């Protein structure tokens, strides 16, 4: 509590109270906004980052697939059996993502998810769930 963050494209807000349910899950944040921060930095304090957000009640459910390095070594053919070099964590699936309703489009349509990378709509998408596949990452962790 007491930390300030900028809401992407909006104001700097400061959390004043965290409300939890009986099991300890956060169900509400009570915040105040600084009306002098729309489009400019706050004076006398610093925001601790920017939150990119989607309105959950208006969002569509999405599955996001992140593809990493397929092999655990640079030259898998140098191994006795290249199959032994497969990376078991090359695919990470985020099952409970939320996306802007505008991302509902034709299969193969591409989007840039801010600070993440470029994604294409997968043929597995249907009326109930959008499936997005990472095509180009903005952050490379492999060599």
On the CB side of 100, CA atoms within 13 Å amount to: 9
The CATH 2.40.240.10 portion of the chain extends over 3-51, 60-137
In 3D, which of 103, 96, 135, 98 has the Cα closest to residue 116? 135
C-beta neighbour count of 6 within 10 angstroms: 19
Q: In the beta sheet, which residues pair with residue 45?
A: none
C-beta neighbour count of 56 within 10 angstroms: 7
Q: What is the pLDDT of residue 141?
A: 57
Architecture of domain 3-51: Beta Barrel (2.40)
**CATH class of the 60-137 domain in this structure:** mainly beta
pTM beyond 0.75: no
Per-residue pLDDT of the chain (143 residues; tens, 9 = 90+): 688 999 988 999 999 999 999 999 999 999 999 999 998 999 999 999 888 888 889 999 999 999 888 999 999 999 999 999 999 999 999 998 988 888 887 888 888 887 788 999 999 998 888 999 999 988 655 55
Q: What is the pLDDT of residue 140?
A: 59
């Amino acid at each position: 509590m007491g930390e300030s963050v900028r809401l992407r494209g909006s104001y700097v807000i400061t959390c004043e109270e965290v409300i939890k349910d009986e099991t300890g899950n956060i169900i509400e944040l009570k915040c105040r906004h600084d009306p002098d921060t729309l489009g400019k930095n706050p004076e006398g304090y610093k925001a601790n980052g920017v939150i990119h957000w989607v309105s959950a009640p208006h969002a569509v459910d999405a599955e996001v697939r992140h593809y990493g390095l397929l092999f655990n070594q640079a030259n898998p053919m140098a191994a006795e059996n290249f199959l032994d070099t497969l990376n078991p964590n090359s695919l990470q699936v985020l099952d409970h993502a939320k996306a802007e309703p505008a991302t509902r489009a034709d299969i193969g349509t591409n989007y840039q998810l801010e600070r993440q990378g470029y994604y294409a709509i997968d043929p597995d998408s249907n009326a109930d769930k959008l499936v997005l596949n990472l095509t180009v990452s903005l952050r490379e962790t492999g060599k």
